[in-house]
Amino acid sequence: MKKETDCNKHRWIPLLGVEKKRSVPTSLFTCLMCGDLKVGVQTIKISKSRLDMGELPINSVAGIKLMNPPSVNNTASGLIVTAIVDTNAQGIGAPLFMSADGHLDTTSALTNATSPCVALAMETGIGSKRILVHGVLRVNAWNWTVGPGASSLIYISTSTGALTQAQPSTAGQIIQPVGWALSADSIYFSPSMIYLTHV
């Protein structure tokens, strides 16, 4: 929805976060008129050829590189952060959702009570763990099908803590694409925050 010209009538609305089971405004805003984003007082202008923060163009992407899939088992490249994981019996690559306490738990497509998936586990076990929020993950045990269009898509599985290429198809189950297969053992993880409940 970004206009070709600068918007002179920004109508900012805050994006919402969750704190103690309540929706609260964050410091990230979007303009209803043009779609620009604002962090605090700095406007982020986005077009097909540039990204500006405030009045300064961000024209060097040396720190953001799309790499080939990692060549070592159980490794990732992308946005990796540390968070508290409360449940994860499945290990590396398990899909996680944010629960009401702000911690992460394994998810499944059986119910929207554990949706949406927001990250993949990068470590086994629970506690303060690394998670992949966006990027490429390799797990040698995977055996994905790579192909054109929807054939490479990856979804949350109805099995807790697992991913699948079979779209959930039973009433009440959650359909959330979270990425696609780059190779038999590597995926590009880019979870959609929009998901559907099968009817």
Is the pLDDT confidence value at 196 over 50? yes
First to last CA, the chain: 30
* H or E element at residue 117: none
> Which pLDDT tens digit goes with each residue over 97-126?
999 999 999 999 999 899 899 999 999 999
Question: Which pLDDT band, with edges at 50, 70 and 90, does 5 fall under?
Answer: very low
Mean per-residue pLDDT, 145-156: 87
Tokens of 155: 């979804």
| Region label for 125, one of left (φ > 0), alpha (ψ between -120 and 50) or beta (otherwise) | left
Nearest to 188 by CA among 91, 65, 77, 74: 77
Q: 166-179 pLDDT, tens per residue? A: 999 999 999 999 99
pLDDT surpassing 80 at residue 17: no
pTM: 0.65
Provide the total of helices (H) and of strands (E) in the chain, helices listed first: 0, 17
Higher pLDDT, 170 or 11: 170
Cβ-contact 94, 162 below 8 angstroms: yes
Angle made by CA atoms 163, 134, 157, in degrees to the nearest 5:
10
Contact partners, residue 115, CB within 8 Å, separation at least 6: 97, 107, 156, 174, 176, 195
Q: Give residue 2's pLDDT.
A: 42
The angle subtended at Cα 65 by Cα 63 and Cα 69, nearest 5°, is: 140
DSSP 21: T
Q: Is 60 exceeded by the pLDDT of residue 55? A: no
Would you say residue 42 has pLDDT above 50? yes
N residues, the chain: 199
- pLDDT tops 50 at residue 29: yes
Residue 184 CA: distances (Å) to CA of 41, 77, 145, 180, 194: 44, 17, 6, 11, 26
In this model, does residue 153 exceed pLDDT 70?
yes
The whole-number pLDDT of residue 99 equals 92
